[in-house]
Structure 1
């Protein structure tokens, strides 16, 4: 039976794909894949499978979202098994909900295959647990490309007051605004913050600091990067397991720390 699988490929480490996600890749006739997936996953596709790049970079999209939605429907209606392969988890800032809506409107059978989100994995690989009994009993996943600006003061006040840890996606370019909003709405200037670039991959780099100094310290960090704000960032000093393994395997590995 024809089906579309909307699959989360995980945060970058090849081994963090789910078993179910890997099976979807292996059985599909068509795979529409994003920029931030581990490209080695495509080696698992059938030799005759059609591979379609749908990557998005800031200010540049290979294909628009409506075009992607249309392609999913088109190939499914041709009787093909389709996998939409997305970085992280498709329902956490992955626009998987929009794609599922498009399929549902056409009565096309689909299945959501959750993936490990970078909001959880990147901090973990940087030695930062997003919750901890002594430091954080709540965590929020928010986008750095929305909810910014003076008219969103109420939003930021509620976030600051209600959440112990913030994991902010797509926020590198907005880092000065984010820090200003957090400080302006109740966070202490010395609140710990970290940026994890290319989390879970060999290119991972982490910079830690405070809200008042992170903009300068992280000036060389670029997308893709996860921003983590909260007292849990302090635990990184003890828990840098991933970077320690990399250094033990190859002393030349670059390590960026705050």
Structure 2
């Protein structure tokens, strides 16, 4: 084989390799203020509180010294499921307990509670929504029934180069982007970690944001924490066309063999 052809082959194979810089999380990237180990990093939105939106699901509990008082404000089916402890894999996005036992906010921002009727809670924080429901229930029982309202977990969807794509539920009231990655089987080596797209819902519409998982500055980003109903999409690298993460090695070997054979044939024909 002629030397130029051999050099070209080496160049192609080398360009197919994936640099560690493209797959390593939280690096100090050029152009950004350096963040050292053990350095305190304040959150970008330390006072942020999630505002409830239409189609969210909230968990509302009622407590009283007289159990018969609280039964009037709960659906019978939901109460039975709570008592039976039917979690059904809610943490992994399979069966979701709160889909059946929680209160869904409709498109106009209302939840419907037995005896109390429809109460608008969209546009409010958890604490504000709790106060609104508590005021409504105090009309019937002054200081006898207490209300607890909270988000029924954080639901988000992963698409693209994740270990596991689909809708997930994290049973917490706050979760980071890395919590979401871990719950989704992390991203594979063929993902463009410097280009994670977040499709986020806002009042009246959505926005597409892009973050860099390789950049340590993400820790001080407003997108460090995921929100309910976020959609996370990871694009594949161009090398993805030669195989997925599981068979990348085989794909590269096949590609290298094919290219070497083609260059060998060209070399023989040009001699």
User: Normalised by the shorter chain, which TM-score bucket?
Assistant: under 0.3
Which of the pair has more CA radius of gyration? Answer: 2
Q: So what's the TM-score if we normalise by structure 2?
A: 0.26
Greater RCO (CA < 8 Å, at least 6 residues apart)? 2
